Structure 1
Amino acid sequence: MPELPSGAATPMSLVDALRAVAGLPPKARASFCWGRCVRGTYAPSDQAKEITKSRSLTMPCRVLARFSADCGIANAVGTDGCSLRGFSFRLGSGNQRSEILTQSAPVHFARTSDQMLAFLQAHMPGPDGKPDMAQVAAFSAANPETQRQASYLAANPPPASLACTTYWGVHAFPATNARGETRFIKFKVMPVGQERRPAEDAVKSTGLWRDLEARIAARDVRFSVMVLLDRPGDPVMDVTIRWPDEDGREAVRLGTIVITGTEPSEACDAAVFNPANLAEGIGHPPDEIFAARRAAYVISRTRRR
């Protein structure tokens, strides 16, 4: 079992490790490699300005977004078997834009960059193309927090339809409103009118992407952009744990995203969806994974080019 390195992880080493674990080619995305680029609109709610002064979240705008799935299998021919889903979206334009990354689990699989690198090293495939399961088990036992994401997904498998999935932001963002009041928020993006989970046999007959395209064509893909509001003592530095009573606490609807069509993949590749791009009124989360992620996205994009 690899020891937890001290300060060994860099954004570049994380990108390399993500690709190596999944067996991805050099120009592939390091994570969430399977995806569809889409466009849409965003309409803010009357409550948005109470939470943030960010024009990206308080003004109507066009949306560029990407639905994705993280298989971790380079030669996969489909994505029906993937558990973790992603939804990244850009609101606003110019220097008044925010790029938000969300996923189908409310926690990340590592607390620090070093722990993330060690996790990936423990799961690295051997000569037979498979990881050493004894090594994985030993690492998991020594680092139980790295199992929380997998445990959540096992207990809460996402609907097979990307349009029916709830997406979470694992980071705590400092949000400042026009009165200068700042508090931490977490994003939660919920499907509108899609409470019924699609039948599994229907999913298997169409696949994730065909299902999504059919729903977009039917103007049937809408999401409420919600935020969870912090309470005193909520952890904001550890992305492997949830806030207490997170499912039952107060949530505010910032606005609604309506997906209206598809875009070529190149449109989203050019956008990157770098989480560092946040309009004034939404600050950078203080946790270590966010800092590593914003640098890794730039490296991954440069290598793809």
Structure 2
Amino acid sequence: MSEFPKGAPSPASIVDALKAVAGDPPKARASFAKGQCVHGTYIPSNQAEEITRSRSFTRPSRVLARFSVGDGDPNVADSENLVPRGFSFRLGNSNHRSDILAQDCPVHYARTLEQMIAFLEVRVPGPDGKLDSEKIRAFSAANPETLHQVNYIAARPPPASFASTTYWGVHCFPATNAMDETRFIKFKIAPVGGEVALTESPANTRSIDFLHTELKRRVKKGNMRFSVMALLDRPNDPIMDLTVRWPDEDNREAVRLGTIVITGIEPNEACDGSMFDPAKLAEGIGHPHDEIFAARAVAYAISLKMRR
């Protein structure tokens, strides 16, 4: 994995900024603080080896996963309509492990580390606990690409269930198959059965934890299934800028790598005691080249240490 650029904000400063935006809750994740750990299985498709030789994706395995609500506040309402939902999962075993971090929007809110920390700093509440809306508007006007994520989320109704939303890996991963052919892919985790959004009933009539409650109820009734898809690159696709999508991304060629089946609720300690490490990718899936990814694993380790 490439190092993050010299002179750029450090991963530690990014973690500090994330926690400041959330009010610095103690022993909480810097982002996606509220969540539920689950377990299940992964079943590869017969097409997986065409895309990658990674044994994480071409062999059956157990799955450890975590559904979450974006934000550094562990008490954020599940109905909050301007934050992403997350789905992190671990495939393979200790020798061939891959951790994938996905969210229900296909873009990130910053192109560079400098832009990321500037985005966060203007959203740190003042001494009165309020945001400076003028400062946020000025930053957004100067950096319009930082609105792509929130505009995508705002244009879509919140999901009715963690099990009925599509999750995206915002990075572009180099994937190498058994023929030693490499191309870039994006991960798309699609719910088997399709997406289901909230009805028009007011969000404030729902429980603050309704997604988590529904998740536990759904797992008791039966399995939750997701198709792990690889979106395939085309010439000149942007691979460094996480604020933009690939052209015609929703309609381009995709290959199903396998299926994740969620079969049970796991105590949160099983996910909280370690971390889903984006740098853990079994050979056959390479590290993305963008600088956000380069700093991400370091930031996750810092956040883990702080919450311990």
Same fold by TM (over 0.5)?
yes
Output the CA distance in 2 between the equivalents of 1:79 and 1:67: 11
Moved more, 258-267 or 214-223: 214-223
**Residue 253 of structure 2 aligns with which residue?**
250
* SS of structure 1 residue aligned to 2:145: helix
Instruction: Report SS of the residue matched to 2:298.
Output: helix
Q: Check conservation: 2:67, 2:162, Cα contact below 8 A.
A: yes
Partner of 2:225: 222
Q: Equivalents in 1 of 2:140, 2:197: separation in Å?
A: 32
- Listed as ranges, the matches of 1:134-153 within 5 Å are 134-153=134-153
2:152 is equivalent to residue 155 of structure 1: no
Scaled by the length of structure 1, what TM-score is found? Answer: 0.94
State whether residues 71 and 81 of structure 1, in contact with CA within 8 Å, keep that contact through their aligned partners in structure 2: no
Query: Residue 214 of structure 1: CA displacement?
Result: 0.9
Q: Aligned partners of 1:75, 1:260: CA distance in 2, in Å? A: 26
Q: What per-residue deviation string (whole Å, max 9, x for no partner) do you get for residues 58-88 of structure 1?
A: 0000000000001454654x32225310000
Equivalence map 1:114-153=2 (5 Å): 114-153=114-153
SS in 1 for 2:237: coil
Correspondence for 2:15? 15
2-structure distance, mates of 1:74, 1:37: 14
Task: Indicate if the aligned counterparts of 1:23 and 1:74 stay in contact, CA closer than 8 A.
Answer: no
Deviation at 1:159, TM superposition (A): 1.3
Which of 299, 304, 308 lines up with 1:296 in the alignment?
299
Q: Deviations over 1:248-297 (max 9, x none)?
A: 10011000001000111111123300100000000000001001111100
Asked if 1:270 corresponds to 2:269, the answer is no
Q: SS in structure 1 opposite 2:250?
A: coil
CA contact (8 A) 1:22 1:74 kept: no
The CA distance in 2 between the partners of 1:27 and 1:102, in whole Å, is 23
Change (3 A) 1:201 1:40: farther
Q: Distance in 1 between matches of 2:240 and 2:170?
A: 11
Match of 1:240 among 240, 243, 253: 243
User: What 5-or-longer segments of structure 2 have no aligned partner?
Assistant: 1-5
* Aligned mates of 1:71, 1:176 — CA distance in 2: 34
Structure-2 change in CA distance of 1:18 and 1:268 (3 Å): same
CA distance in 2, matches of 1:68, 1:273: 13
Deviations 1:175-228 (A, max 9, x none): 000000000000000000144445455982671111111111111411000010
Tell me how far apart the structure 1 counterparts of residues 139 and 217 of structure 2 sit (CA, whole Å). Answer: 42
Find the aligned partners of 2:159 and 2:27 in 1 and give their Cα distance.
Answer: 30
Stretch of structure 1 that moved more, 157-166 or 209-218: 157-166
* Deviation for aligned residue 1:153: 0.7
Structure 2 contact 158–198 (Cα < 8 Å) conserved? no
Letter in 1 for 2:120: L
Counterpart residue number, 1:3: none
- How many Å separate the matches in 1 of 2:152 and 2:49? 32
Q: Return the alpha-carbon distance in structure 1 between the equivalents of residues 266 and 202 of structure 2.
A: 25
Kindly tell me: are residues 151 and 197 of structure 1, through their superposed partners in 2, closer, same or farther at Cα, counting changes over 3 Å?
closer
Secondary structure of the 1:39 match is strand
Q: In structure 2, what residue type is equivalent to 1:136? A: I
Matching of residue 80 in structure 1 with residue 83 in structure 2: no
Distance 1:243 1:54, change over 3 A: same
2:234 alignment partner, one of 214, 231, 235: 231
Percent identity (aligned): 64
Residue type at the aligned position of 1:254: L
- Work out the CA distance in 2 between the residues paired with 1:116 and 1:302: 22
Query: Please, which moves more after superposition, 150-159 or 269-278?
Result: 150-159
Letter matched to residue 218 of structure 2: R
2:79–2:158 Cα contact (<8 Å) kept: no
Match among 279, 284, 306 for residue 281 of structure 1: 284
2:3 maps to what in 1?
A: none
Retained in 2: the 8 A contact 1:192–1:224? yes
Describe the shift of the 1:8–1:185 C-alpha distance in structure 2 as closer, same or farther (beyond 3 A): closer
**Cα shift at 1:127:** 1.4
Check the 8 A contact 2:25/2:73 in 1, yes or no: no
Determine helix, strand or coil for the equivalent of 1:247. helix
Residue 251 of structure 2 aligns to a residue in which SS?
coil
